[in-house]
Amino acid sequence: MVEPKCSVSFVCQRCLQPVKLDSSFNSLGEHTLAELSLPIQPAPEVDLEAHAASLDRYVPAVRLTESGNGANGFMLIDDEGEKESLSHKMRVTAGLFDLLSSNSEIDHPLCEECTDALLDLLDQQLRLTAEEWNDYSSFLKRLEAEDEEQNLDELEKELEALKAEEGQLMESLEDLQEAESKVRAALAEQERETERLDREEERYWREYIRHRREHLLMEDEYHSLECQRTYVQAQLDKLKKTNVFNATFHIWHSGHFGTINNFRLGRLPSVPVDWSEINAAWGQTALLLAALARKMNLSFKEYRLVPYGNHSYIEVLKDNRELPLYGSGGFRFLWDTKFDSAMVAFLDCLQQFKEQVEKGDSGFCLPYRMEKGKIEDSATGNSYNIKIQFNSEEQWTKSLKFLLTNLKWGLAWVSSQFTKDEAEASQR
- Domain extent at residue 134: 10-141
The residues pairing with 314 across neighbouring beta strands, listed in sequence order, are: 305, 323
Number of C-alpha atoms within 13 angstroms, CB side, residue 10?
A: 29
Total-model pTM? 0.46
Distance of CA 328 to the CA centre of its chain: 81
Backbone angles phi, psi at 403, to 5 degrees: -60, -45
Same domain for 293 and 418, yes or no, is yes
Spatial contact of 385 and 399, defined as CB atoms under 8 Å apart: yes
**Within-domain flag for 310:** yes
pLDDT, residue 64, reads: 42
pLDDT, residue 111, reads: 80
Distance of CA 201 to the CA centre of its chain: 20
* Final residue of a structural domain among 86, 106, 141: 141
**Within-domain flag for 223:** no
CATH code for the domain in which residue 305 is found = 1.10.418.40
pLDDT, residue 83, reads: 43
pLDDT, residue 153, reads: 77
Same domain for 124 and 261, yes or no, is no
Same domain for 112 and 258, yes or no, is no
pLDDT, residue 155, reads: 81
Nearest to 346 by CA among 410, 400, 297, 294: 400
Backbone angles phi, psi at 10, to 5 degrees: -135, 155
**Within-domain flag for 168:** no
* Final residue of a structural domain among 120, 141, 162: 141
**Within-domain flag for 353:** yes
Same domain for 408 and 272, yes or no, is yes
Q: Is the dihedral of CA 412, 413, 418, 421 positive or negative?
A: positive
pLDDT, residue 88, reads: 61
Same domain for 130 and 274, yes or no, is no
* Final residue of a structural domain among 93, 123, 141: 141
**Within-domain flag for 4:** no
Spatial contact of 302 and 317, defined as CB atoms under 8 Å apart: yes
Nearest to 258 by CA among 242, 274, 282, 276: 282
Same domain for 404 and 258, yes or no, is yes
**Within-domain flag for 41:** yes
**Within-domain flag for 313:** yes
How does pLDDT run along the chain (428 residues), one tens digit per residue? 445 555 556 778 778 777 766 666 666 566 666 666 665 555 445 454 554 444 444 444 444 444 334 444 344 444 444 444 556 666 666 766 766 666 666 776 778 788 888 888 889 989 999 999 999 988 888 777 765 555 677 888 888 999 999 999 999 999 999 999 999 999 999 999 999 999 999 999 999 999 999 999 999 999 999 999 999 999 888 877 776 777 778 888 888 888 998 899 888 888 888 889 999 999 999 999 998 888 888 888 888 999 988 889 999 988 888 889 888 765 344 445 888 889 999 999 999 998 888 887 777 888 888 888 888 887 787 888 888 888 888 888 989 999 999 898 988 888 887 666 555 555 55
Condensed to tens digits (0 to 9), the pLDDT of residues 110-128 reads: 787 888 888 888 899 899 9
**Within-domain flag for 245:** no
pLDDT, residue 163, reads: 92
**Going by DSSP bridges, is the β-strand pair 10-11/18-19 parallel, antiparallel, or unpaired?**
antiparallel
pLDDT, residue 77, reads: 43
How many structural domains compose the chain?
2
Helices (H), 258-319: 275-295
